[in-house]
Homo-oligomer: A and B are copies of this chain.
Amino acid sequence: MSTSVKGTSVIKSSLIDPDGGTLVDLVVPQNERASKRAEAESMPKVKISKIDLEWVHVISEGWANPLRGFMREDEYLQSLHFNCLKLKDGTVVNMSLPIVLAIHDKDKEVIGASSDVGLIGPNGDLIGILRSVQVYKHNKEERIARTWGTTAPRLPYVEEVISPAGNWLIGGDLEVLEPIKYNDGLDHYRLSPCELRKEFDRRQADAVFAFQLRNPVHNGHALLMNDTRKRLLEMGYKNPILLLHPLGGFTKADDVPLDVRMEQHSKVLEDGVLDPETTIVAIFPSPMHYAGPTEVQWHAKARINAGANFYIVGRDPAGMSHPIEKRDLYDPDHGKKVLSMAPGLEKLNILLFKVAAYDTVEKKMAFFDPSRAKDFLFISGTKMRTYARNGENPPDGFMCPGGWQVLVKYYGSLQSEEAGPQSAVLSA
Contact = CB atoms under 8 A, between A and B. Distances in A.
Interface of A: 73-74, 77-78, 81-84, 86, 92, 137, 139, 141-142, 145-146, 148-152, 293-294, 330-331, 334, 337-338, 341-343
A92 B77 CA distance: 19
A142 B77 CA distance: 19
Nearest to A90: B346
Contact of A342 (B82, B293, B342): B82
A83 B337 CA distance: 15
Nearest to A325: B141
Nearest to A343: B82
Contacts of A150: 141-142, 145, 151
Q: Helix, strand, loop or mixed for chain A's interface? A: helix
Nearest to A331: B137
A81 B83 CA distance: 7
A319 to B, nearest CB: 12
Contacts of A137: 331
Contact of A149 (B78, B86, B142): B142
A83 B86 CA distance: 14
Residue with the greatest number of chain B CB neighbours at <10 A, chosen from A73, A83, A141, A149: A149
A144 to B, nearest CB: 8
Contacts of A293: 77, 81
Residue with the greatest number of chain B CB neighbours at <10 A, chosen from A74, A294, A330, A334: A334
A148 B139 CA distance: 13
Contacts of A294: 81
Nearest to A330: B142
